Amino acid sequence: MPADAHVLNFIIDRLPTPIGDMLVVVDRDGILRAADFFDYESRMRILLRQQYAREGTVTLTEGAAPKAVRGAIDAYFDGDLTAIDRLPVKTGGTAFQREVWRALRTIPAGRTTTYGKLAARIGLPNAARAVGMANGANPIGVVVPCHRVIGSDLSLTGYGGGLPRKQWLLTHEGAAFKPPVAPVEAMRLPGI
């Protein structure tokens, strides 16, 4: 760790959602730093360590996220699909990853895009694979809507929270996509 690095003490909260408890990580200013589902907590912790390695050591303390954060996430799951658009976020990661994550936030609820189109949107039309890798390393699921990126044939592609959740989120938002071969009833969300 660099000599000027320090401890980044973030607060972790657990919010109930229709698709399992969501882990929400905020800094002392109430800015969202990470969001993931309870069954992917170890992945979230690894991403936080990796993405903030240059700044310091990340510690997570149990506590309550600000009412504005909790309220926006609750409102999103209750049907106000734009409520999360106003949440302030801050990420670690590389400059390229942060650029991809900023571009993800420009995809409106109910819409989808592809890795190729997202790469073109950031001015790197041949970087679809790199965009996919950055998308997969997104530390702020749902709010930085990586679930809105699908295959060029409208099929569901990988999602850090699992394909059943991606399908649920896109259906919740009214987005067009090609459902997976297995019917949704056959897909069980862990812990639900």
The CATH number of 95-180 is which of 1.10.10.10, 3.90.1420.10, 3.30.300.30, 3.40.50.10300? 1.10.10.10
CA distances from 77 to 47, 84, 95, 126, 171 (A): 25, 10, 30, 35, 12
Q: Which residues are catalytic?
A: 146
Give, for all 192 residues of the chain, the pLDDT tens digit: 455 568 999 999 999 999 999 999 999 999 999 999 999 999 999 999 998 988 889 999 999 999 999 999 999 999 999 999 999 999 999 999 999 999 999 999 999 999 999 999 999 999 999 999 999 999 999 999 999 999 888 888 888 888 899 999 999 999 988 877 665 544 455 544
User: For every residue of 119-161, which 3-state class applies, written as one string?
Assistant: HHHCCCCCCHHHHHHHHHCCCECCCCCHHHEECCCCECCCCCC
Reply yes or no on domain 6-86 having CATH 2.60.40.
Answer: no
Extract the runs of DSSP E, i.e. beta strands, from the chain: 6-15, 22-26, 32-37, 56-62, 113-114, 149-150
In the chain, what are the domain boundaries? 6-86, 95-180
**Do 6-86 and 95-180 share a fold?**
no
Closest listed residue to residue 168, CA positions, set 181, 153, 156, 151: 156
- The pTM assigned to this predicted structure is 0.89
